[in-house]
Structure 1
């Protein structure tokens, strides 16, 4: 795996106006964009080298749902690593994370299983406007069984850490797939050996 390029398909999910696009642009260009159209869906690509690994980030920045068309299921199916984002200054966006989680599970048809994700509380620089505590964020992450980070697209706080965590999640995901494939092969071999034929 060391010499191969690791391609990470990241989906950014959350309510409108919470800074999904500004987080992505901060990571890609290290700039802060104050105003961004929340109705635009974009796909961004960035290549990085991390130690002996070549990383290719494919970031799907999801938009608000369009009238008469719901692209959400397609967004989910095109994603391997899920970034669930809320704004610490907007309690409703925090409460909607559960809705996004449940809907993702339904689309992936994994009601009782887990999927690779990370919970992000954005706009950590706006402490005076905080509506969601760090404790609440940690408690939700525990329920979702994922890591929790607070970020600020404005200051750049923890933005690189967020995307570093997606690398770890992707490596773990690939490892799980490899182990599952190996177990499947072992079962097939065992079944073949166990068969007997009557002449």
Structure 2
């Protein structure tokens, strides 16, 4: 407890002498540390402190979005993501999360806007490739969608999501081929990550 109080006092002293940007950065660093430790309420407090100093701090807003998601406050999550992306258009994590929100609510045009931006920022990120593959499949472009799923798997063989989608896609025409894709994923992934594949099988 004493060490925690001491750290808080040191942080307060540093913040008192800092510029607004430095103050916000200090709050964000503490918020990230608390979030990583699973201390969501204290993390939210530090992130809010950062936003009070710098309302459009993209890192603070993204952290607040993650905390809101943890609380199942999806409206709050969406709002924070919108601010984060507006404040820092190059924030890949915020754009990815926002893109998947649009996919979840069926706003495919908005999802495509995020994907277009992401493909310029991180074209070899497996998650970006997967997002675009989802959009291609939704638009009926099966060839591009299938190629995107396969590329996403190559880039990140441990992600079960593209395997599940590709397995279902192939199973529609060839059930054995669909099962083979699932089995290959199960064979190469750790048990915890392959759980969804085993359940689908």
Interval of TM-score (by shorter of Structure 1 and Structure 2) = under 0.3
Kindly indicate which of the two structures has a greater share of residues assigned to helix.
2
Larger radius of gyration: 2
TM-score (structure 1 length as normaliser): 0.28
